[in-house]
Structure 1
């Protein structure tokens, strides 16, 4: 229970930020990428604000010996820039530019039950499972369905 309250509050703050900044509106994102038409540069300020908060937040939080509700920090240690990282980032960017949603912007508006949001989230979930299956296949591990059948 002690983890649920901070997770809820952080999720609420994140969702409010997404909605207030306009990131839940795919038209705002798509207009940012439309340099020849209805370009809306205001997304630069959203991104800049997010980077500033993240930069400061990491320094403040990681200066502590441990998190408030965990025994240790869980920070990624892999710093390798490889084809998988670059390909994933490119795929994310292309998908964001085509749909106008990223996972963070789509999740707060699922409750609207808008068709495009539900389709995006369904495609996102399908993509996650497909990527996991392909990674397991590449590593020679059995698929999730094969593991469940055993």
Structure 2
């Protein structure tokens, strides 16, 4: 059942990205081009996503726990440090340069865009490099369901 819900969640997310046009890097890059062909639609997509997430979290927190796990898996860090800010900045710069974020690049693979393949390859390489720098294993086994 857990796998079915994970698949359905991914499907809804991918459809939302596709319908909103956020898997098109030109649309995303036009949002950042405030002096030229500015396209504000990304702000509306983000606003809609934040609204849905806000309502969803309020409903989920009313429960004692998740449906398909023993407990909620939440971040424990409470500090805004250089690593967090640097990672967020690197994500934003990469998004602004490529026009893709991982959430938009994955559904774009289905369109055959070479840019999506290149972006995801660079993203995967970045994950591997980060794990190496942190002294973590590159490949880990998933937790038992």
What does residue 64 of structure 1 align with?
A: 63
* Counterpart position of 2:103: 104
**Residue 35 (structure 2) aligns with:** 36
After TM superposition, the runs of 4+ consecutive aligned structure 1 residues lying more than 4 A away are: none
Residues in 2 aligned to 1:110 and 1:6: alpha-carbon distance in whole angstroms: 22
d(CA) in 2 for partners of 1:103, 1:125: 10
Corresponding pairs, count:
139
Query: Aligned partners of 2:108 and 2:40: how far apart in 1?
Result: 23
Q: Match of 1:76?
A: 75
Q: In the alignment, does 2:10 pair up with 1:11?
A: yes
Could you say what secondary structure the match of 2:65 adopts?
Answer: coil
Structure 2 residue 31 is the aligned partner of structure 1 residue 52: no
Larger radius of gyration: 1
| Runs of 5+ unmatched residues, structure 1 | 146-150
Aligned CA-pair RMSD:
1.4
Alignment partners' CA distance in 2, 1:5 and 1:79: 33
TM-score when scaled to structure 2? 0.91
After superposition, the C-alpha distances for 1:68-101 in whole angstroms (9 at most, x for unaligned) are 1112111112111011100000000000000000
Counterpart of 2:131 in structure 1 is: 132
1:113: Cα distance to partner? 2.4
